[in-house]
Structure 1
Amino acid sequence: MFVNSKTHRILCSVVTATIMTAIISFTLTAVNSGLHAFPYVTWFRSWIIAFLLVFTISFFLPKFVIRHVSRIIKVKE
């Protein structure tokens, strides 16, 4: 499947955010409440909140970082 670079960037952000937030929110929920009485509703709610935050950040932060780092550090060609 061929997509343009903007679509590719959005898809990469969605997949990365989904994996990262699922692992982190599951781990934190399991550590805080234990696996024997794991609250799936609580985990799902925290995952949704984390996903929205991480997706937004992972979409906009790289451009911001690259722009500001490029002002300080020049790439040798």
Structure 2
Amino acid sequence: MKINKKYERITFAFLMALSMSAIISFFMVSVNEGFRFGFIGTWLTTWGMAFFIAFPAACFLPKQIVKIMRKISFID
């Protein structure tokens, strides 16, 4: 399956947010709760909440970060 070039940025943001929210939520639940009964359910719930925040952030923050980097870097 090939993705149209115009959807490349949003697809990248979606996959990055999906994977990063999964990894970070898994780590945080395992540290805070431990591997106990119901771990998977707790992790999936927190992953969903984390993705709900991560995806919009992955879509909108890069442009703002590039602007900030242009202001603080020596390269124009």
1:10 deviates by 0.5
Residues 63 and 34 of structure 1, relative CA distance in 2, 3 Å threshold: same
- What whole-Å deviation, never above 9, does each CA across 1:4-39 have from its counterpart, x for those lacking one? 24x100100111111111111011111112124352
Q: Secondary structure at 1:32's aligned position in 2?
A: helix
TM-score (normalised: structure 2)? 0.80
Which residue matches 2:57?
57
Q: How many residues align?
A: 75
- What whole-Å deviation, never above 9, does each CA across 1:43-65 have from its counterpart, x for those lacking one? 11110110111111111001112
* Distance of 2:52 and 2:70 partners within structure 1: 28
Which runs of 4 or more aligned residues in structure 1 lie more than 6 Å from their structure 2 counterparts after TM superposition? none
- Whether the 8 Å CA contact 1:30–1:38 is kept in 2: the answer is no
* Distance of 2:41 and 2:3 partners within structure 1: 37
Gaps of 5+ in 2: none
Instruction: Provide the identity percentage.
Output: 31
Q: Secondary structure at 1:75's aligned position in 2?
A: coil
Gaps of 5+ in 1: none
Which residue matches 1:20?
20
